[in-house]
Amino acid sequence: MRQRTPSPAPPPRDTLLVNKRRHTRQATSRVAFAEMLIPDDDPLLDFRPYCHRRPRSNSITPEVQRAFIYQLAMTGIVKQAATKVGKSIEALYKLRERPGAEDFRRAWDAALEWGRLRLEDCAMERAIHQGAHNPRANSMICWVLEHRSRFMVDSREVKRGHWLWERVHHEITGRWPNDDAEAEA
């Protein structure tokens, strides 16, 4: 009998994988991904990732966490970013809520804000260039622009009686302004 020599083990993959299938829902295994390039100098990726005590082959490694944050900042959509890095939304949300993942959670929130701003810019650009000519096709963009940033406040509007002024007053003094008016009466 001839003995077979074992084939050498494949070198460990330190590059990150990205979905290369035509339809993202087809990306169900490791072979459905190609390498992803992530910039090293992005300040958004400067966070302390969660490290598993006993990582498994399907654990969300620090490299995958950074890739997810990068993709989330690029797209602004959690599902799309999760698909790009080949992890489920459920697994990422579970990781986000784990004790010790506070920095990952902070980076997630910052990436979502970057993604939201990017989507607003794209919507604004599209509305400016196409909205006047094709308003029916851009009805969703018009809705986004109409409702965007409704919680943003112009600092010139913040005066006594404004909800933000009352909130800051409460945080500083520990009392609501209405309580002061009742005490004076």
Domain ranges of the chain: 16-118, 157-184
Going from the C-alpha of 107 to that of each of 15, 19, 112, 130, 169, the distances in angstroms are 21, 23, 9, 34, 29
What was the pLDDT predicted at 145? 63
**pLDDT of residue 174 exceeding 60:** yes
Residue 119 C-alpha from the chain's centroid:
12
- Which carries the bigger pLDDT value, residue 8 or residue 179? 179
**Confidence (pLDDT) at 10:** 46
Instruction: Evaluate if residue 168 carries a pLDDT over 90.
Output: no
pLDDT at 11: 45
Residue 123 has a pLDDT of 75
pTM here is 0.58
